[in-house]
């Protein structure tokens, strides 16, 4: 039975057509996946259904829920439907919840309309149980919960009034992969047992294919292809879908011959503790050991993936390796030399050998600087200062190496797309010809088609320049496609390390096996 039928939906905002003839159906007990890259209009489609589009948007077409056209409905009517008939789960559970309100009250608030206070509280308890948080005290606050627990609370809020339709917009994107698997299972069991219709919006085809019965692929405001999941994945008809699938399935990297050259990066029993706060008597609380006794090395031309979930100590290890943080014990050697105790001018000869590309392509650049100035900044590490003409030549050469044109140097960061910005970040890193390149979640924020291009570029560069690469990622599939060796980090320790094929085919540690099992695959 059809719950929701979207017919020829169009949306224009500021003269631009952002949705163009979107048609979609959702039935009771069905999960429809809406997949697309950033800017494809998938979130806008979800927001149109719930009536939360920007106020000056111009909407056409029909959204039929239970025979009623939601596009033509009054705001009053939409408010009545929101929550009661159509529930919404957002991407970021921390910002979707009120930090000053305990979770029980937040769920009860959503359930409250039409219920007495006591009944709403009872409903909140049963909802907590329903989303698998039976043992959790409803008096706890969002910051006391893990990311996965918070997303469960957000789902409980969406379920509070028994909606017929649930719209989940990237509900697992902010979560670790093991948590993601559990939340996806929860959502699909809710659909099965309560007979709801779920519209699951995601950029990740693998996530969608795991739970959705039908998939609609969006590009530039249009649905280019829709059909049963199996059909879409196995025999995509549209060119864009084919490309999306090809770029989502990353080929495993062929095993490389071990080389006996001296390592370019060595970490020897590195330990980094953060001291606890002092109490009012001046005594310190127990600290946190973010990185414990970590040792590894990287050969020239070799890519080593460091995988782990949030809080595993990856970021602290990266800071230590980059010489931005000093370990309490152990040492980091780049090209055979260790960072001194005091970071300063004398550290620059070592710093020059290791450069980094960061995750967020939008905040990695000073918005007021030209690309030339940005890319040239590390040249400051060289011993002899270059003339403006030499600098310019180096910048242009680096930009060309990462697949951009030399005239990019004169533009500003906001004139580039996310993928182009990551190329600029790589250009900035390689301009001083480092021995080691650290990629800190550098492809995590990118669309899959863009990601594939960056990974190819990286493979090409490490091979050509003979750099070692420490590739930090939470994504096992990416690690498998790029790395010669893998280090698995868990609670500050490296629990397993080995050649990529060995890690994936025969993981020794339970945690590694869990990570691999939880990674959605097509």
Partner 1 sequence: MNASQASRSGFGLRVGLGLIGLVVLAAALSLVWTPGDWSGVAVDQRLLPPGWPHLLGTDHYGRDTLSMIMVGARSTLAVAVAAVAIGLGLGVPLGLAAARGGWLDAVIMRAGDVVFAFPALILAILITATLGPGIQAVVLAIGVFNIPVFARVTRGAALSLWTRDFVLAARTAGRSDGAISWSHILPNIAGVLVVQATIQASVAVIAEAGLSYIGLGVQPPTPSWGRMLNEAQTLMSVSPQQALFPGLAVLIIVVGLNLTGDGLRDRLDPRLVVRT
Q: How far is the CB of 431 from partner 1 (least distance, A)?
A: 9
Q: Does 294 engage in binding with partner 1 (CB under 8 A)?
A: no
- Binding to partner 1 (CB under 8 A): which residues in 109-128? none
Q: Give dist(CA 455, CA 470) in Å, integer.
A: 13
**Binding to partner 1 (CB under 8 A): which residues in 363-422?**
363-368, 377-378, 380-381
Q: Which of 352, 394, 423, 435: binder of partner 1 (CB under 8 A)?
A: 352
Q: What is the DSSP letter of 284?
A: B
Q: Which of residues 365 and 416 has its CB atom nearest to partner 1 in the complex?
A: 365
Beta strand ranges found along 387-432 (DSSP E): none
* 348 touches partner 1 (CB under 8 A): yes
Q: What is the CA radius of gyration of the chain?
A: 25
Give the C-alpha separation, 445 to 440, whole Å: 11
Which residue number, 1 or 56, has a Cβ lying nearer to partner 1? 56
Helix (H) or strand (E) holding 304: strand 303-307
Which is nearer to partner 1, 162 or 360 (by Cβ)? 360
Q: Which of 358, 426, 455, 479 binds partner 1 (CB under 8 A)?
A: 358
Joined tokens for residue 200: 């699951």
The token pair that represents 311 in the structure block = 């809080």
Torsion angle (degrees, nearest 10) of CA 16, 17, 19, 21: 180
- Distance of closest approach, residue 388 Cβ to partner 1, in angstroms: 16
Q: Which is nearer to partner 1, 322 or 455 (CB)?
A: 322
Residue 239, both tokens: 């060119």
Contacting range for partner 1; rule: CB under 8 A; set: 226-234, 351-359, 455-463, 480-488: 351-359
Could you say whether residue 425 binds partner 1 (CB under 8 A)? yes
| Count of helix runs (H) and strand runs (E) in the chain | 19, 20
DSSP assignment of 327-368, as one string?
A: -SEEEEEETTEE--SS-SGGGHHHHTTEEEE-S-TTTSS-TT
Q: How far is the CB of 156 from partner 1 (least distance, A)?
A: 31
d(C-alpha 441, C-alpha 129), whole Å: 35
**Residue 342 binding partner 1, by CB under 8 A:** no
Site for partner 1 contains 15 (CB under 8 A):
no
The arrangement of strands across the sheet holding 337-338 comes to: 288-298, 265-274, 329-334, 337-338
Q: Which stretch binds partner 1 (CB under 8 A): 120-128, 183-191, 349-357, 457-465?
A: 349-357
What mask, x for binding partner 1 by CB under 8 A, covers residues 301 to 330?
A: ---------------------x-x------
For partner 1, which residue of 359, 462, 497, 512 counts as binding (CB under 8 A)?
359
Whether the CB-CB separation of 445 and 361 falls below 8 Å is answered with yes
Q: Which of 161, 214, 394, 428 binds partner 1 (CB under 8 A)?
A: 428
Query: What CA–CA distance (Å, rounded) separates 30 from 187?
Result: 11
- What is the binding site for partner 1 (CB under 8 A)? 56, 322, 324, 344-345, 347-348, 351-352, 354-356, 358-360, 362-368, 377-378, 380-381, 425, 428
């Amino acid at each position: 039975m059809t719950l929701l039928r979207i017919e020829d939906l169009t949306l224009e905002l500021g003269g631009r057509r952002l949705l163009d003839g979107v048609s979609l159906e959702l039935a009771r007990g069905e999960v429809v996946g809406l997949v697309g890259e950033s800017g494809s209009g998938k979130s806008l489609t979800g927001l149109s259904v719930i009536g939360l589009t920007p106020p000056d948007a111009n909407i056409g077409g029909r959204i039929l829920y239970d025979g009623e056209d939601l596009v033509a409905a009054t705001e009053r009517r939409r408010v009545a439907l929101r929550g009661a008939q159509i529930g919404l789960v957002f991407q970021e559970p921390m910002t979707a919840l009120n930090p000053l309100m305990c979770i029980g009250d937040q769920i009860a608030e959503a359930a409250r309309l039409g219920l007495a206070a006591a009944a709403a509280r009872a409903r909140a308890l049963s909802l907590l149980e329903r989303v698998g948080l039976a043992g959790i005290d409803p008096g706890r606050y969002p910051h006391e919960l893990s990311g996965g627990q918070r997303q469960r609370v957000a789902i409980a809020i969406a379920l509070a009034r028994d909606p017929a339709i649930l719209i989940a917009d990237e509900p697992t994107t902010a979560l670790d992969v093991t948590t993601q698997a559990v939340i996806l299972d929860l959502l699909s069991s809710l659909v099965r047992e309560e007979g709801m219709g779920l519209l699951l919006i995601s950029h990740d085809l693998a996530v969608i294919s795991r739970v959705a019965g039908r998939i609609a692929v969006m590009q530039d405001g249009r649905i280019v292809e829709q059909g049963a999941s199996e059909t879409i994945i196995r025999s995509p008809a549209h060119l864009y879908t084919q490309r999306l699938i090809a770029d989502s399935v990353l080929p495993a990297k062929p095993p490389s011959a071990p080389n006996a050259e001296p390592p370019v990066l060595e970490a020897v029993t590195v330990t980094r503790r953060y001291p606890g706060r002092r109490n009012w008597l001046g005594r310190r609380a127990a600290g946190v050991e973010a990185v414990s006794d970590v040792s590894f090395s990287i050969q020239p031309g070799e890519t080593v993936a460091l995988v782990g979930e949030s809080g595993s100590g990856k970021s602290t290890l990266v800071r230590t390796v980059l010489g931005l943080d000093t370990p309490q014990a152990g040492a980091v050697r780049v090209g055979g030399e260790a960072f001194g105790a005091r970071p300063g001018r004398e550290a620059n000869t070592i710093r020059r050998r290791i450069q980094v590309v960061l995750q967020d392509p939008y905040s990695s650049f000073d918005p007021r600087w030209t690309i030339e100035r940005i890319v040239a900044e590390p040249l400051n590490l060289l011993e002899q200062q270059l003339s403006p003409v030499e600098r310019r030549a180096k910048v242009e050469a680096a930009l060309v190496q990462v697949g951009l044109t030399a005239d990019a140097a004169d533009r500003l960061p906001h004139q580039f797309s996310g993928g182009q910005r990551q190329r600029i970040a790589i250009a900035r890193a390689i301009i001083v010809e480092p021995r080691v390149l650290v990629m800190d979640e550098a492809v995590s924020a990118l669309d899959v088609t863009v990601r594939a291009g960056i990974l190819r570029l990286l493979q090409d560069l490490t091979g050509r320049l003979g750099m070692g690469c420490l590739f930090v990622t939470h994504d096992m599939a990416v690690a498998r496609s790029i790395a010669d060796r893998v280090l698995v980090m868990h609670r500050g320790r490296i629990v397993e390390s080995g050649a990529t094929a060995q890690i994936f085919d025969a993981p020794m540690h339970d945690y590694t096996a869990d990570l691999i099992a939880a990674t959605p695959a097509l």
